[in-house]
Structure 1
Amino acid sequence: MARDYAKQSPMMLLVTAGILLIIQAASCQRVRVRVVAEVEAYPTESVDLRCQFVDEGNTKLTQVSWIWEPREGQRDNIAVFHPIYGESFPESPFNGRVSFIQGTLTNPSITITSLKMADAGRYTCEYATYPSGNEQGTTNLVILAKPKNSASPVVVQASTSGKPVVVAQCEAADGKPAATIKWMGEVGGTENTTSKKVQDGTVTVRSEYLLVPTPEDNGKEVTCMISQRTQDKPQTFPMKLSVEYPPTVSIVGYDNNWYIGRTDAVLTCQATGNPVPTTVTWTAMSGRMPDTVQIDANKLIVRKVDEAVNTTFVCEVMNRLGVGKHQVTTAVIEAIADPSNAGVVAGAIIGSLLALLLVSALIAVLVNRSRRQRRGYPGNGEPGAYGNKARLFGGAGNKSEGTGANINGPIYTYRESDPGALVENVNDFHRHGPPGSTPTAHDILLSSEMDEAERRKFDALDDSLEEEEERYDSFSVGMAPAYHIHRHNEEMGGVSMYLDDDMESQRDGSVISRTAIYV
């Protein structure tokens, strides 16, 4: 088997070499005519179509021609170069617009000027050679057209039927290839896009934006975006919708506080509409406009409020599509205090209240003091007699002597300035008494010869009297019984002296004597 393989190997090598030569020859033949596969150009511009015969070798070049194929099955010869006869341009749509760049067989490149959209197609550079025959290369010429882009809103009226209408449109005209259009917006509409191919090969794309228009949609923004091969980036067209509607009107400024005498009360008529309202009219339903009213465009100014403006004011606004109205009824009320004096009024009220409280406190103090005085307390709060009055107690007399009322005995005065002290009234008869008469207790008290022991006894007597008076004051009015104070002094020779044996209670809480004389 190895020998068989060795016998077959030289044959196989020859076959392989033959195949490689065939492939190389075919490859060299394909690359002899060098062209650019595709070229892009724009209308009205110029384009160069390159062609070159590479590695001529033993091949004899006899002629080169350029053939245009606008569509399948159509071939038009537009330029010919012969080494002897030179350049030739047969009748074609390119007459006067095509020429050779160098004018040689090895480099027969051409230039086409003033391009048209119809110039697009296949361009073949074809060589007539000997002995191999014709060799060629083909270039595809693409004519690009920048579209004419535009967009605009469509003026519409607010819909009452509920059907969508075109509110904006966008167009990319005469473009190649065809453009694409997209919509962006906040109104939630729909789009309808169509395209139309023109005879020269361009395409016009049109898109419409539809919605049911309302007054609220007026002024809202939508955007059309156009994309196409010839553009570096998409082109955008923002636009505001234009929806027409009759005026809508409202009156502002009335605060339900039109009191008589108020000045410069203002009503303002506010209106919106598309187109913008041009006429504003004020009327009063009561008839003639009051004399105190002044009209200034959309403002109604009441210089001074009176009964005449107690009416209904109407504002009427008009535009091309219709009329809008609104009214407000103004009720005039009685005059009120000027709000600017509110602080003064409040201060006066507070001051009056404080003064009233002060007077009330003073009256309470005086009444309390009067009550204390009637109960036996002087103005300084200390126990005593009844104000500036002094009580004079008539003595009961000496019962052993059978005397009655104290008409001859001494009269004692009880003064609040010296609580508990008994002072003899100025009476010479009682001061000295008849010659040889028995000295009274008061005489003993006032005597300079009274010793200390006797003075302490009388002090104790005074303290006892003050305690009795305080016990009496603790009783309520109307409940205190008649209270008698007795003083006994066994050391005074059995003399029983009744200072207040005829004292009785009063309704105001005081205690007075039936026989006392008040001075």
Structure 2
Amino acid sequence: MWIYEPKDGENIIIAMFCSFFDSNFPNSLFLVATGWQVEVEPVVESYPGQTVNLRCHMALRAEGRGKDQHRCVSPKFDPNYPDSPVKGRVSFSPSPPNLDSPSIQISDVRMTDEGKYICEYATYPIGNDQGVTYLVMLAKPQNSASIVTVDAGTKPVVVARCESVDGRPAAQISWVTTANGNGTTVSKPGVDNTVTVTSEYRKVPTAADNGKDISCVVAHRTQTKPESFPMKLAVQYAPQVTIVGYDNNWYVGRTNVVLTCQATGNPVPLSVQWKTMSGEMPDTVQIRNNELKVLKVDEAVNTTFVCEVKNRIGTSRDQVTLTAKCGCLKMFSSVVYQCHNECCLLLFSVTLNILTTDPVSAPPQVVWIYEPKEGKRINIAMFHPKFEPIYPDSPVKGRVNFSPSPPNLASPSIQISDVKMTDEGKYICEFATYPVGNEQGVTSLVMLERALK
């Protein structure tokens, strides 16, 4: 007989086939059996809707024959299939069955058919023997994963979720990520004897976590390999703001310098607003989106600029304090400048390489030329190493002199004292050599209405 033992419940006979010995049958076979073994498959796997074969075989060892040994075996009755969960779907195979191999098959198997199936032989006077096959029902789960959008905070929350629905047996879920969190997994009964497994990944979300890679990996017996779901964490946070562009060298007269307000945030920042701590925006400033452009640096930009950025999560800001310096444009290699009351002292460091091998070549001479905004060029200072410095008639005569004095050709800088508004313009330092030719550098002197404090 075959007996079905469900996981939860009592044993049920599902198929029977009876035989007995009749001494009136002279052709009946008598066996003296000193031992036998019921052979079955320990585990059989199947999917819903399939037909499954549960094999059973009786292996006997015969050691002799005799007329008085009542062991076995003339088929006498038809197979019997009592009421059971598999009635109408179970049958002996082959049919009619034989005692050597009374296997059964179950058609249209269901998830609820899972359990132990016992093939049992009953004999007289030897007793019973049995073999047990475990029918494992498999169901391929429906796997999915999703990201949970969260706000940056200080407490652990669910940031990702993974689910394996209606599988049999239960799926195994794991997480792969560089984020510092933990996964928790729970299982619950699904439909038709299946299992649904849900895993949640929790962590304390920070702005730095936004966009980090995270993958849910689902392993199941019905899959040839684990199924992976790559995702990216979604953490919303208030803007992070930085002002760039100020190099601490915004000298008076410098033009078209720009401050840029750089901001990151999730969601993307909705607005960028420029302000000053004083409340007044200088006239020389132009604002376009996240850029603040100073058309010409003057005393008015000696203030603190503030960039304020908003998104749905919050508002953030950054600020930078500017200092306008009295400055002069670069001449040859560098310019050193300072302001003192109404006097702008210009000190030029000039490097001049004279490429000549002719010992009789004339030494170079230097000439300073003033070019006003409107008017002709005027020589204001000249020096030749064989002669004394000369200061021709000019608007700065009496206020201009070489510095140091006496001058040297390595650094023939000039100093103009008691500068006036009318002194603004270009000042050209020109070296004249033979036979190399001339070389010059130009500095623009910018005059302010009053000295910077």
**TM value normalised by structure 1:** 0.50
1:323 aligns with 2:315: yes
Matched, 1:268 2:236: no
Distance apart, 1:199 and its partner CA = 7.0
- Mapping of residues 273-422 of structure 1, within 5 Å: 273-287=265-279, 289-338=281-330, 346=350, 358-359=385-386
Q: Among residues 31, 47, 54, which one is paired with 2:52 in the alignment?
A: 47
C-alpha change, 1:112 and 1:92, in structure 2 (3 Å) is same
Query: SS where residue 33 of structure 2 aligns?
Result: helix
Higher RCO (C-alpha under 8 Å, 6+ residues apart): 2
Residue 119 of structure 1 corresponds to 113
Percent of aligned pairs with the same amino acid = 52
Structure whose residues are more often helix by fraction: 1
Say if 2:35 is the partner of 1:27.
yes
Write out aligned runs for 1:42-81 (5 A): 42-51=47-56, 59-63=73-77, 65=79, 80=80
Q: 1:139-154 residue pairs with structure 2 within 5 A?
A: 139-154=133-148
Root mean square deviation, CA, Å:
4.3
Letter in 2 for 1:253: G
> Which of 232, 249, 256 is matched with 1:257 structurally?
249
Write 1 or 2 for the structure with the bigger share of strand.
2
Alpha-carbon distance, 1:291 to partner: 4.8
1:37 aligned residue: 42
Unaligned runs of 5+ in 1: 1-21, 66-79, 81-88, 362-519
For the residue of structure 1 that corresponds to 2:76, the secondary structure is strand
For residue 208 of structure 1, what is the amino acid of its counterpart?
Answer: E
Counterpart of 2:160 in structure 1 is: 168
Secondary structure of the corresponding residue to residue 27 of structure 1: strand
1:241-280, Cα deviation, whole Å (9 max, x unpaired)? 3222211111000112223332221111111222221222
Q: Is the CA contact 1:249–1:269 (under 8 Å) kept in the aligned structure 2?
A: yes
Q: Does 1:241 align with 2:245?
A: no
Partner of 1:465: none
SS of the residue corresponding to residue 167 of structure 1 reads strand
Q: Aligned with 2:386: secondary structure?
A: helix
| Cα distance change on mapping 1:64 and 1:240 into 2, 3 Å | farther
Cα gap change, 1:341 to 1:95, in 2 (>3 Å)? same
Aligned residues: 313
Tell me the amino acid that sits aligned with residue 267 of structure 2.
P
* 2:138 is equivalent to residue 156 of structure 1: no
Summarize the Cα distance change of 1:27–1:232 in structure 2 as closer, same or farther, 3 Å threshold. farther
- Give the partner amino acid of 1:359: K
In structure 2, the CA distance between the partners of 1:299 and 1:130, relative to structure 1 (3 Å rule), is: same
Change (3 A) 1:114 1:264: farther
Higher mean displacement: 91-100 or 110-119: 91-100
The TM-score normalised by the length of structure 2 is: 0.56
Mark the CA change 1:24 to 1:177 in structure 2 (over 3 Å): closer, same or farther.
Answer: farther
Cα distance in 2 for partners of 1:286, 1:96 equals: 92
3-state secondary structure, aligned to 2:208: helix
Query: Which has the higher Rg, Structure 1 or Structure 2?
Result: 1
